[in-house]
Each structure stands twice: as structure tokens, then as C-alpha cells.
């Protein structure tokens, strides 16, 4: 996902500019880095979990040959490495905060993404013949109440991933302490819970 990349770039550039070049980073840039992180971290875990528990599982159960696409190196990296990188950042490296008091900021990216998807749906395909083309069926506004329920469910699932990440951060810092081995084991366990590498 592009948002995690932006978060990691900001997390690397801010200390580089401050320490090596003596640049005094404005508080608005620091806040923006935290907002980008709060929006990207839970979404990476959400995407990886959906691929593991919903999409891939459905294709295995139905015998769909498209599951071969999930086993290729690029999709594996896309859906697994994002989550692993986020968990390593939370548990081992920078320990960026994902705090419960930032709960209201977390759904911003998802909200913008849904609005962006709805706006671009009318830009693709032949509108006269097929109607608007939506990226995902659950965002199709022509399906009536189903879309409303799906968007609310997606928001609730996303917020639960935010809570899991915030809780995991607290458990790592309060109960496990600062030990590298304990943090590495926790990162490995969380990674295995959201990543899938084979049928």
C-alpha cells in the first residue's frame, strides 16, 4: 500500500533531516507523520487478514484456480510484507504510537478511499452499457442497502484492527517490557496471524 510507504519515508526523513542536517522539524510535519501512520498501520493488517481469511480461503474452498495468483512472489510480498513491516515497526524498530486517544483519526484514509472509489466509478467503463464500474462489489452504490451495511461493517472491522494494534502496542510496552526476544516473538506471532504463504 502506498500509505505505508509514505509513512515509512516520513519516519526516515524526519530523523535524518533533524539529526544529520540540524533541521528543526515543524510540529505540523510531526503530527502529519503520526496521522499517516495511524491510518496506514491498521489498514495494512486489515488487507493482509482479508486476503488470508476471506479471499484466499474462499478460493481454496471453491477450488478457484485464481488462488495461484496469491502464491506468486509479487502478491505474497504485497499482502504479507506490508503487515510484517508494520509489526516490525511497532514491536522492534521505531515503536511509533498507535494510541487509543487517536481513535477518531484512524478511519480518515478509509473514508477518503471510499469517497475516491465512488467518484472514480463513473470514470471507467461504458456508462451507457454497463453503468458505473466499482473496484469492489461491496462499494457498489447501485446495490442499495447492501452497500451501506458493507461500508459500516468495513469501518467496524477497520476500527477493531486499530484497537488490536493499539492494544498490542500497550501489551508490548507494559507487560513484555523492552526485551528484544519477547518483542520478536510477539511480532512473529502477530505476523503469522495475518499472513498466509501457501494453501
* pLDDT tens, the chain, 199 aa long: 567 777 778 878 888 888 888 888 888 888 888 888 888 888 878 877 877 787 777 777 887 777 777 778 887 777 778 778 877 877 777 667 778 888 888 888 788 888 888 888 877 766 666 677 777 777 888 888 988 898 888 888 888 888 888 887 777 777 766 677 877 887 888 888 877 777 6
How many CA atoms within 13 Å lie on the side-chain side of 76?
8
Question: Is there a domain that residue 199 lies in?
Answer: no
Question: Is there a domain that residue 10 lies in?
Answer: yes
State residue 37's pLDDT score.
Answer: 82
- Across 31-65, b (16+ Cβ under 10 Å) vs e yields eebbbbbbbbbbbbbbbbbebbeebbeebeeeeee
Question: Is there a domain that residue 174 lies in?
Answer: yes
Question: Is there a domain that residue 93 lies in?
Answer: yes
Q: Calculate Rg over the CA atoms of the chain.
A: 19
- Is residue 90 within 8 A of residue 98, CB to CB? The reply is yes
How many domains, the chain?
1
State residue 1's pLDDT score.
Answer: 54
In degrees rounded to 5, what are phi and psi of residue 53? -90, -20
Q: pTM of the entire structure?
A: 0.73
Question: Is there a domain that residue 79 lies in?
Answer: yes
State residue 113's pLDDT score.
Answer: 83
∠ CA 123-129-132 to the nearest 5 degrees? 35
Question: Is there a domain that residue 25 lies in?
Answer: yes
CA 16, 168, 102, 159 torsion-angle sign: positive
Q: Name the nearest CA neighbour of 45 among 10, 80, 3, 75.
A: 80
Question: Is there a domain that residue 80 lies in?
Answer: yes
Question: Is there a domain that residue 170 lies in?
Answer: yes
Q: How far apart are CA 127 and CA 125, in angstroms?
A: 6
User: What residues make up the domain containing 58?
Assistant: 2-194
Amino acid at each position: 500500500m502506498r500509505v505505508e510507504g509514505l509513512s515509512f519515508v516520513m519516519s526516515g526523513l524526519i530523523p535524518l533531516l533533524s539529526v544529520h542536517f540540524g533541521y528543526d522539524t515543524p510540529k505540523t510535519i510531526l503530527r502529519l507523520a503520526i496521522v499517516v501512520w495511524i491510518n496506514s498501520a491498521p489498514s495494512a493488517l486489515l488487507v493482509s487478514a482479508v486476503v488470508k481469511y476471506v479471499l484466499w480461503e474462499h478460493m481454496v474452498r471453491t477450488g478457484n484456480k485464481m488462488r495461484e495468483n496469491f502464491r506468486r512472489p509479487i502478491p505474497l510480498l504485497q499482502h504479507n510484507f506490508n503487515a510484517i513491516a508494520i509489526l516490525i515497526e511497532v514491536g522492534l524498530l521505531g515503536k511509533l504510537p498507535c494510541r487509543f486517544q487517536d481513535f477518531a483519526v484512524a478511519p480518515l484514509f478509509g473514508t477518503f478511499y471510499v469517497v475516491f472509489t465512488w467518484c472514480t466509478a463513473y470514470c471507467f467503463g461504458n456508462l451507457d452499457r454497463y453503468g458505473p464500474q466499482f473496484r469492489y462489489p461491496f462499494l457498489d452504490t447501485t446495490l442499495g442497502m447492501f452497500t451501506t451495511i458493507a461500508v459500516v461493517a468495513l469501518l467496524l472491522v477497520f476500527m477493531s484492527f486499530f484497537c488490536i494494534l493499539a492494544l498490542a502496542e500497550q501489551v508490548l510496552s507494559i507487560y513484555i517490557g523492552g526485551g528484544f526476544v519477547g518483542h520478536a516473538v510477539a511480532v512473529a506471532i502477530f505476523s503469522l496471524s495475518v499472513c498466509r504463504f501457501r494453501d
